[in-house]
Amino acid sequence: MSKKIVIVGNGTAGASVALAARKADRKAEITILERNSFPTFSKCALPFVIEGKIKEFEDITVFSHKFFRQQKINLVNNAEVAAIDPDAKKVVYTLDGAERAIEYDKLALTTGGYAWQPRTEGDETGNVFVLRDIADGEKIRAVALKSRTGVVNGASFIAGEIAEAFVTRGLKTTMIVRSRMMRTMIDADMSKIVEQHMIDNGVDLIKGETISRVIGNGTVKAVVAGDHEIPCDVLVNSTGVRSDVTLAKSIGLETGTTGGVVVDKSMKTSNGDIYTAGDCAEDRFGLLGFPFVSLLGTVATRQGVVAGQNMVGGKTQVAPFYNAAVIKFFGLQIGSVGMTSDIAEANGMKVEALKVTHTTLPHYFPGGKDVHVKLLADPGTGKLVGAQVLAEETVPETINTLSLAIQNGMTIPQIAMADFCYAPPCADIWAPASIAAQGLGRKLAAKARRAKK
Amino acid sequence: MSKKIVIVGNGTAGASVALAARKADRKAEITILERNSFPTFSKCALPFVIEGKIKEFEDITVFSHKFFRQQKINLVNNAEVAAIDPDAKKVVYTLDGAERAIEYDKLALTTGGYAWQPRTEGDETGNVFVLRDIADGEKIRAVALKSRTGVVNGASFIAGEIAEAFVTRGLKTTMIVRSRMMRTMIDADMSKIVEQHMIDNGVDLIKGETISRVIGNGTVKAVVAGDHEIPCDVLVNSTGVRSDVTLAKSIGLETGTTGGVVVDKSMKTSNGDIYTAGDCAEDRFGLLGFPFVSLLGTVATRQGVVAGQNMVGGKTQVAPFYNAAVIKFFGLQIGSVGMTSDIAEANGMKVEALKVTHTTLPHYFPGGKDVHVKLLADPGTGKLVGAQVLAEETVPETINTLSLAIQNGMTIPQIAMADFCYAPPCADIWAPASIAAQGLGRKLAAKARRAKK
């Protein structure tokens, strides 16, 4: 008999589960229950439709309804899961006002994350948004097009992209940054470069403050942050994403210190017939092994592939992840992999780090762009444990290079002398990462000499 | 007493030896004997001055005379080495017509390579050139600026760059390609893409022919290749580089099957006081360990650093090299690392390979460029042994990524699921290299299944 696979949530993780299961088992009955009405879309692309770089929300479809039909994946939209009975292996959901039930052999709870924000006086006012799906995106774009001022509450991925979208749409734009920009991804010295870049591109940054009050009457008119009262026609709160584990908790699945659902390397939860992946899954970081919810689409995809394969009888394990990530604000690519200094310290490691600024091309070749590379090493082993790169180009692939260096446990001296390529119109004779590694190698060696004395 | 270091040849390798020795030993007496009259310049940049992308030949200076003086490196230009006495540890050279001698504790013979070409009837005619140094470059540029037609004899790095320079300068340009373009770097299917790209950019390609005759009277007027007689005001021969081992052989240093000087991992030759590096050094390829002369500036630099450190008492070894290389013709970046199918087969390995074409950005994001990625695996171990990438951008860093994959012995399935980064305006959710690895992984698995039956 063919296996019954049920997936709750059609985000990046859920869709990856479905497609991997289908690839591995042509006969499985695969059903996805999805609360919203859309095909699988790229959540990461939403800000670019608001900005206008991508024309319409339908353009960011990743897997169309038609493609899922061809793959014999039964996507049920507008299906709100009411209850799960793990003993009867049954999911109860409502659709068109009627209650229905579906049985499963294996269930994936890929319920993703939700936009988390501290409640503030007045934030129930109109034109105050979070951005999680196409419906949110459509509303924000519609309001932004009629607005003169916009405020973004937050300092991370989506916040920076929305700020850029607002500026592009001609809004006077303010970001309220509680600590510093991209704090989970880069160190403080790198944040400074990013923040200056936002300011240079017309964003007003208010740092060290949070929104204490939203002023409006029906729709938002201003926000108050510290001593500032900032005129505001549209407010987007982007202060964080937390794992959505309501369903998981309702059936007693184990959750961890991060708030995510605990999984093993096969992406199985504490219930042997239930898997998860993506923003609601607590995996372990590839370095030091601390529990970590990645929130990245790449990790969700790879976890989803493994979960999907295993749900139809596979025996694969997730590869360790190092949170290789990149983002782009106003032409500046911001990349990171491994641990930041803060994350390392929070997990008991005091890293040795070095930042260099070099260029993408040799000094004699026109058109080179500045590249800032920061490498972080474990002084005990000399191994690379983190890397951060800022530049207008070359960042994603440089991060991938350094990701493989971390994944393979390469030491700083090994990276310094690794075989990297060069040609005057493409790359300098020493890659910026090599130069950073050479400098950090000298710093580590000097430290080791001092320790011996 | 301070060590006496003498270096013959101030190319990339020689200059690297000098600077590494200086960094490691502040007191060493370091002398470079150089035949030509220039400071250290970038040989790889010569075509771009001919093209005009770089304004003047003095702009491609890498280490100025002043910088060498500051580093207390004694660069003696116009010094022609006449003889070496390895027993007396003495180098005899002529300068300004006078014979001089210098003693050494350690000697580096970094004599580089010379442009090799088959002799042809008429090739002593004027305006027939090779490009090895600034003097050559100046002559080629001067003649090209007055020419209407140009012919490049060759199909590799410098040949393609000169062809681009000629087209940019408005010359009707023909390349005579004996076999196929970039044969030592990429497979035949990838060469086809490069060749079509050259044709699309205005280069006439004559394939499968060599020049049989140069026609001219004082200066070249035409060349004959097969049935073709091609009008030609300037001819550049770029048919290969061979190790310049005249001096090495004159003192009985061991040379290998490649024609280069045999070295150990410390870059020492068969004479314990003499080192070499760069285009005249026969190192061993990082895969399979066959003897190989790299001819790359990056390898020359790293070898030079190791030689320089060891000449003043260091104990470092060269890291294995995999010939990570990149080049750019008319905006197309061409990258390679590891073995090509041909090189692998010549050394006893029949690779399994797969080529995919993907884009630099997700399908829904404007501005993505095609990326062609070919991965080559050892079917026995499933490990990556070669990678070739063609695209308008992202190639050098992608090659570096794949270089680390090879250097660390990663298998194709490991690469397929490696932690790479993504963001819609920067990179797709699966990197092109991941997609190629996924496809090649399926191919290897299918092959393994067939073998079991």
pLDDT in tens, A379-404: 999 999 999 999 999 999 999 999 99
Which residue of chain A has the CA closest to B61? A364
Q: How confident is the model at residue A53 (pLDDT cuts 50, 70, 90)?
A: very high
**What would the CATH number be for the domain defined by B4-50+61-114+242-311?**
3.50.50.60
Q: What does the pLDDT read at residue B452?
A: 84
Count A/B contacts: CB-CB distance under 8 Å: 215
CB half-sphere exposure, B63, CA atoms < 13 A: 21
Q: How confident is the model at residue B44 (pLDDT cuts 50, 70, 90)?
A: very high
Write out the E strands in B259-417.
261-262, 274-275, 281-284, 291-292, 325-329, 332-338, 352-359, 370-377, 384-391
Token representation of residue A171: 């809004």
Whole-angstrom CA distances from B98 to A434, B94, B250 are: 43, 5, 21
Question: Which amino acid would we find at residue A238?
Answer: S
Interchain pair B48, A327: CB under 8 A: no
A53 burial via Cβ count (<10 Å: 0-12, 13-18, 19+): middle
pLDDT of B118 > 90? The answer is: no
Q: With beta carbons less than 8 A apart as the criterion, state whether B262 and B256 touch.
A: yes
pLDDT tens digits, one per residue of A135-163: 999 999 999 999 999 999 999 999 999 99
Q: How confident is the model at residue A452 (pLDDT cuts 50, 70, 90)?
A: confident
Q: With beta carbons less than 8 A apart as the criterion, state whether B310 and B330 touch.
A: no
Q: How confident is the model at residue A346 (pLDDT cuts 50, 70, 90)?
A: very high
Of 3.40.50.1220, 1.10.1040.10, 3.40.640.10, 3.50.50.60, which CATH number belongs to A117-239? 3.50.50.60
Interface test with A, best of B404, B428, B430 (most A CBs within 10 A): B404
Give pTM, 2 decimals.
0.97
Q: What does the pLDDT read at residue A340?
A: 98
Token representation of residue B425: 């305006």
Interface test with A, best of B400, B402, B414 (most A CBs within 10 A): B400
Q: What does the pLDDT read at residue B120?
A: 87
A401 and B CB contact within 8 Å: yes
Adjacent-strand bridge partners of B372? B357, B390
The count of residues in chain B is 453
Distance from the B419 Cα atom to the nearest Cα atom in chain A, whole angstroms: 6
Give the rounded percent of residues in chain B with a pLDDT score beyond 70.
100
A337 and B CB contact within 8 Å: yes
ipTM of this predicted structure: 0.96
B430 and A CB contact within 8 Å: yes
Token representation of residue A92: 């109860």
DSSP secondary structure letter of residue A390: E
| CA atoms of A312 and A118, how far apart (whole Å) | 41
Q: Which CATH fold topology does A4-114+242-311 show? A: FAD/NAD(P)-binding domain (3.50.50)
pLDDT tens digits, one per residue of B197-220: 999 999 999 999 999 999 998 999
Adjacent-strand bridge partners of A265? none
Token representation of residue B268: 């020492």
pLDDT of B152 > 90? The answer is: yes
Q: With beta carbons less than 8 A apart as the criterion, state whether B436 and B373 touch.
A: yes
Interchain pair B419, A286: CB under 8 A: yes
Q: With beta carbons less than 8 A apart as the criterion, state whether A62 and A15 touch.
A: yes
**What would the CATH number be for the domain defined by A325-452?**
3.50.50.60
pLDDT of A116 > 90? The answer is: no
> Between residues B435 and A121, which one has the greater pLDDT?
B435
Looking at residues B388-417, what average pLDDT do you find?
98
Q: What does the pLDDT read at residue A453?
A: 79
Q: Which residues contact A305 (CB under 8 A, 6 or more apart)?
A: A16, A17, A19, A20, B417
CB < 8 Å from A in window 345-384 of B: 362, 364-366
Token representation of residue A59: 């353009």
Interchain pair A42, B423: CB under 8 A: no
Which residue of chain B has the CA closest to A427? B396
Which residue of chain A has the CA closest to B332? A426
Cα distance between the two ends of chain B: 71
A395 and B CB contact within 8 Å: yes
Q: With beta carbons less than 8 A apart as the criterion, state whether B26 and B68 touch.
A: no
- Kindly compute the dihedral angle of the four CA atoms of residues B38, B40, B43, B49, in this order, to the nearest 10 degrees: -60
Residue spans of alpha helices (H) in A25-103: 46-51, 65-70
B421 and A CB contact within 8 Å: yes
pLDDT tens digits, one per residue of B261-319: 999 999 999 999 999 999 999 999 999 999 999 999 999 999 999 999 999 999 999 99
Looking at residues A300-315, what average pLDDT do you find?
98
| CA atoms of B151 and B142, how far apart (whole Å) | 15
Distance from the A53 Cα atom to the nearest Cα atom in chain B, whole angstroms: 7
Q: Which residues contact A302 (CB under 8 A, 6 or more apart)?
A: A16, A318, A319, A321, B417, B419
Angle between helices A157-168 and A134-144 (to 10 degrees): 40
| SS3 call for A165 | helix
Looking at residues B66-95, what average pLDDT do you find?
98
Q: What does the pLDDT read at residue A415?
A: 98
| SS3 call for B354 | strand
pLDDT of A377 > 90? The answer is: yes
A196 burial via Cβ count (<10 Å: 0-12, 13-18, 19+): exposed
* CA-wise closest residue to A141 among A52, A221, A202, A60: A52
Q: What does the pLDDT read at residue A269?
A: 98
B86 burial via Cβ count (<10 Å: 0-12, 13-18, 19+): middle
Looking at residues A60-68, what average pLDDT do you find?
97
Q: What does the pLDDT read at residue B116?
A: 86
Measure CB to CB from residue B407 to each of A397, A419, A423 and give the nearest one.
Answer: A419
pLDDT tens digits, one per residue of A208-241: 999 999 999 899 999 999 999 999 999 999 999 9
Q: Please tell me if the domain spanning A4-114+242-311 has the same topology as the one spanning A325-452.
A: yes
Interchain pair A417, B302: CB under 8 A: yes
Q: How confident is the model at residue B385 (pLDDT cuts 50, 70, 90)?
A: very high
Which residue of chain B has the CA closest to A318? B417
The domains of chain A are located at 4-114+242-311, 117-239, 325-452
Q: What does the pLDDT read at residue B451?
A: 87
Q: What does the pLDDT read at residue A117?
A: 81
Q: With beta carbons less than 8 A apart as the criterion, state whether B251 and B82 touch.
A: no
B209 burial via Cβ count (<10 Å: 0-12, 13-18, 19+): middle
Q: Please provide the average confidence, as pLDDT, over all residues in chain B.
A: 97
Angle between helices B432-452 and B395-407 (to 10 degrees): 40
Q: What does the pLDDT read at residue B119?
A: 83
Q: What does the pLDDT read at residue A451?
A: 87
* CA-wise closest residue to B279 among B265, B267, B293: B293
The count of residues in chain A is 453
Q: Would strands A261-262 and A281-284 be described as parallel, antiparallel, or unpaired?
A: parallel
Which residue of chain B has the CA closest to A299? B419
Q: What does the pLDDT read at residue A84?
A: 98
Token representation of residue B266: 């410390």
Q: With beta carbons less than 8 A apart as the criterion, state whether A63 and A15 touch.
A: yes
Per-position DSSP letters for B383-436, written without gaps between them: BEEEEEEEESSSHHHHHHHHHHHHHTT-BHHHHHT-----BTTTB-SS-HHHHH
| CA atoms of B220 and B240, how far apart (whole Å) | 21
| CA atoms of B217 and B219, how far apart (whole Å) | 5
Q: Please provide the average confidence, as pLDDT, over all residues in chain A.
A: 97
Q: What does the pLDDT read at residue A94?
A: 98
Q: Which residues contact A381 (CB under 8 A, 6 or more apart)?
A: A411
Q: How confident is the model at residue B117 (pLDDT cuts 50, 70, 90)?
A: confident
* CA-wise closest residue to B316 among B256, B275, B262: B275
pLDDT tens digits, one per residue of A241-295: 999 999 999 999 999 999 999 999 999 999 999 999 999 999 999 999 999 999 9
Q: What does the pLDDT read at residue A119?
A: 83
Question: Which amino acid would we find at residue B22?
Answer: R
Token representation of residue B8: 């013959």
Q: What does the pLDDT read at residue B123?
A: 83
Token representation of residue B424: 């819609």
pLDDT of A40 > 90? The answer is: yes
Q: With beta carbons less than 8 A apart as the criterion, state whether B76 and B96 touch.
A: no
Angle between helices B134-144 and B157-168 (to 10 degrees): 30
| CA atoms of B205 and A139, how far apart (whole Å) | 56
Token representation of residue B190: 């990838």
